[in-house]
Amino acid sequence: MSEPAAAEWVNPLRDERDRRLPRIAGPCALVIFGVTGDLARRKLMPAVYDLANRGLLPPGFALIGFARRDWVDEDFGRIVHDAVRANSRTPFREEVWQRLAEGIRFVQGSFDDEDAFAQLATTLAELDKIRGTGGNHAFYLSIPPDSFPVVCSQLSRSGLAGSEDGRWSRVVIEKPFGHDLASARALNAVVGEVFPEDSVFRIDHYLGKETVQNILAMRFANQLFDPLWNAHYVDHVQITMAEDIGLGGRAGYYDGIGAARDVIQNHLLQLLAFIAMEEPISFDPAELRAEKIKVLSATRLAEPLDETTARGQYVAGWQNGGEVVGLHEEQGFAPDSTTETFAAITCEINTRRWAGVPFYLRTGKRLGRRVTEIAIVFKRAPHLPFDDTMTTELGQNALVIRVQPDEGVTLRFGSKVPGSSMEVRDVNMDFSYGQAFTESSPEAYERLILDVLLGEPSLFPVDEEVELSWKILDPVLEHWAAHGVPEPYEAGTWGPPSADEMLRRSGREWRRP
């Protein structure tokens, strides 16, 4: 049974048919577990302020922090204030802050402390009366996955997990969603015992990025691309998420996880689903999810895995004008760590639209630059009525969706070089969000937190999507565990030689963004 639609405040001046008008969250409170963490300070608290600054939160909104620190409400308020001043996207306005600060509370306790959760329930009940939050509560678990069971159990025991009498309770889960298929299923079962699936919101912050959402607009609002969006015209697809930073200070999280689990299982396979899915009947969340699930169900790893996958680990090198150390020299990593910092896989989608089109997914740390992009590379024209010398510098047509930075879309095609001779060379037609629109894009966490408060689940993977993603990735993880160690690559390069060889076997090559 779906939740009561009590989450959204209805503006009496709003025409319900006009979807251009902003949706404002209804009476509610947000509880953040893990408020002392880096994510809460850099992303979550500033996103809440930015939503308030944009007028998208109700006047009586409440924010509650839960942690073991010996803080009172004023201490937590100061932490939120400092985080907002340092990291908010929108300008700081004192009147907005004062209104938000009136609803800020802090509850001290550990996750296994029943008295602390009783105090949390009392605090929320008081806020329901004082701030008019209406018994609508969202619980953001910005905590390690092994703490999910105890927190969910405590929320259930304290009576905070139920949705009844027009009230709702929702839980927000940060990745990783398990470390393999078996653990993901166990985690889904634990959360599912307390919260129904339509009350569970699994955060994948990439799905909140404006450019990712624009994939749907570009594909389904334009007749231009649809006739070409298939195996008749597309040669292959490359999905890249590259970072130029290392892993210093993140050993506690990253060691033993690796690039494939950290990025491919969630971010990149979700991007694949958006690119490859069929047009949904509507943008109703259920219809959108159904099409993504179809794609993921049809996705397989190309074999043999020795030739269609690659993994690496960065070693010392030069980057951004300075010398950097390798992973084994990073603080917290063992000298014999086999955690991969680069991963690349080849996927096939067994549908009529995509049969025979390889999807290459890669991610890595300490690569040439920070960039996330999706490149749809088209087949060459079957016949070129030019001499070879006229087209020596002509490559394949490509449509490149830039997710970050410099968000936008680039179309690469051949054009004649000015002059008396016929010479064809690649040129780019470029669309940039920053130049086309005056309003800056909201941060991904702004969009996703607002969607949680509105009960809008379109951009959140359901348990079936999570399990299908692990089903795709598990075989390569098992293969890597049984075969050797990651190949070294120098920091500042684009990964190990085996990644280049992976594409060269079929006459292709990676883009250098």
118, containing H or E segment: helix 114-130
Q: Cα–Cα distance between 222 and 410 in angstroms, integer?
A: 16
| Residue in this structure with the two tokens 């009586």, named with its chain if needed | 60
317-319 and 408-416 beta bridge pairing: unpaired
The half-sphere exposure of 397 on its side-chain side, counting CA atoms within 13 A, is: 13
Catalytic residue, chosen from 137, 205, 236, 267, is: 267
Measured distance between the N- and C-terminal CA atoms of the chain, rounded to whole angstroms: 47
Structure tokens at 459: 């951009």
Is 267 an annotated catalytic residue?
Answer: yes
Neighbouring C-beta atoms of residue 316, cutoff 10 Å: 16
Task: Report the interhelical angle of 148-157 vs 114-130 (nearest 10°).
Answer: 60
- The 3-class SS string of 155-215 reads HHHCCCCCCCCCCCEEEEEECCCCCCHHHHHHHHHHHHCCCCHHHEEEECHHHHCHHHHHH
DSSP for residue 393: B
Question: How far, in Å, CA of 371 to CA of 433, rounded?
Answer: 16
- Give which of 411, 416, 420, 412 is closest to 391, Cα–Cα: 416
Give residues with Cβ within 8 angstroms of 463, minimum separation 6. 184, 188, 192, 197, 200
Q: Rounded to whole angstroms, how far apart are CA atoms 343 and 381?
A: 32
C-alpha span between 76 and 477 (Å, rounded): 41
Q: Point out the residues that are catalytic.
A: 267
